[in-house]
Structure 1
Amino acid sequence: MEFSGVLAMLFIGAIAGWLSGKIMEGRGFGLIGNIIVGVVGAFLAGTIFPALGFGVGGGLLSSIFFATAGAVILLFLIGLIRKA
């Protein structure tokens, strides 16, 4: 992976993590934690959504949208595990 690809992944992950923290109302993990949740959420969305028939598409906005959706799912699952 090229350096610019890593920077784009971190940028999209940071935005997705921040947005998912806002959507899930305070369930974020700070800046670094949100970047990690966003990157993992992007990976989660990239594997789950195509299997369900949703096209991830290309472009910055669609990447941020799907990464945010994956990060929200991840934060929801982490919240379930924390309650158990």
Structure 2
Amino acid sequence: MTGIGWFAAIIVGAIAGWIAEKIMNSSMGLLANIGLGIVGALVANFLLVAIVGSTLGGWIGQLVVGVIGACLLIWITRLIRGRA
């Protein structure tokens, strides 16, 4: 299975992070959005492969996975900081 590439991952990560920021009512900058989107996609992809056995492909699939993963990371961060 081939990925979407680094440049596309940055774009999709930024969009996913921004969407997650709006869903979770958080306030972050562009770099944090990109980071959350990319790391969130990595975490969510890992969990999907471990639980289901596969992941969503393409730009749209990775955007959905990135948003879910970024929301999960924001939620975990709030739990650790005590603001959940």
Range of TM-score over shorter length: 0.7 to 0.9
Paired residues for 1:5-84 under 5 Å: 5-25=5-25, 27-53=26-52, 55-83=54-82
Stretches (4+) displaced over 3 A: none
SS of the residue corresponding to residue 55 of structure 2 reads: coil
Shift of 1:54: 6.2
Check the 8 A contact 2:37/2:67 in 1, yes or no. Answer: yes
Inter-partner Cα distance in structure 2 for 1:28 and 1:65: 20
Inter-partner Cα distance in structure 1 for 2:22 and 2:53: 24
SS of the residue corresponding to residue 34 of structure 1 reads: helix
Check the 8 A contact 2:56/2:65 in 1, yes or no. Answer: no
Inter-partner Cα distance in structure 1 for 2:60 and 2:23: 17
SS of the residue corresponding to residue 5 of structure 2 reads: helix
Aligned residues: CA RMSD:
1.7
Where structure 1 has 5 or more consecutive residues not aligned to the other structure, the ranges are: none
Where structure 2 has 5 or more consecutive residues not aligned to the other structure, the ranges are: none
TM-score by length of 1: 0.86
Count how many residue pairs are aligned between Structure 1 and Structure 2: 80
- Percent sequence identity over matched residues? 36
Check the 8 A contact 1:17/1:28 in 2, yes or no. Answer: no
Shift of 1:68: 0.6
TM-score by length of 2: 0.86
